A = this chain, B = another copy of it.
């Protein structure tokens, strides 16, 4: 079997040059790169990255586990994670857990067995006991830290506050907040509670509605939205804890002849592409997704280098005004 030395000889370059081509390190001219590739091909050489991984005991890969890949929030998270990981010379493996705790646990086990550098996990259910059974860095996004894990959050409380203050300053008095399933102790639940607190302080009414697990799984929130609008005929301001829900509020209002923003003003959450693609476009609370996933990767690196790492890091949010308010 050909070695890296044989390839260097065949290509007429230094061994170090072949190594740089193999590892995508430093500048290599296209001409040299082709010479090396052609030599590898001629010798049927397969660089032994698995053996390299074995010697390093790490394959420089990060795994991301999400409940829904097509949900616009997770699609943006995956996209940004891939970009930030590439900048830091990590590869990314993705897993869709469908929110199933057993599958999450098995996937983490697979990651551990494969020398994955760390796991970025979006999970509401997986237990402390299960998480404690792993010895691989696990970064939870939008969940409080459990056992040995680390947490990265956005400032959910501030998000709810900004949304309420924005709607009130635009004249809304009768609010509806539509959120996702209530799971005890999830940081995201403070989006609605802080929204409600501002409404109470400003003497505005506020009813909170929560979607069902079935709606979350199908990503269709129409039943909850219909119920919220049926039971609050005087509603003039709606806050949704995701832009995906907000897009569906626009559809339901449209069918009911309610005009946005004239009759009802609407604020979403996340700032995903969808919020710019609807009619009207959606005023939203922007999560700094790029910064959040970059921090997740940097935390994995730091843990593996045995550096001191903060258990919880919270990122600020901002309100992005668009046509729906």
Question: Which A residues contact B (CB, under 8 angstroms)?
Answer: 21-22, 24, 30, 34, 37-38, 41, 44, 46-47, 49-51, 53-54, 59, 61, 68-70, 72, 75-76, 78-79, 82-83, 86, 91-96, 102, 106, 109-110, 112-115, 133, 135, 219, 244, 247-248, 250-251, 254, 273-274, 277-279, 281
Contacts and interface: CB of A to CB of B under 8 A. Distances in A.
B69 A82 contact: yes
Contacts of A69: 75, 78-79, 82
Contacts of A219: 273
Number of copies of this protein chain within its complex = 2
Contact of A278 (B24, B96, B244, B277): B277
Contacts of A94: 78, 82, 92-94
Given A113-B49, A115-B50, A82 B70 contact: no
Contacts of A274: 274, 277
B106 A96 contact: no
Contacts of A244: 277
A103 to B, nearest CB: 9
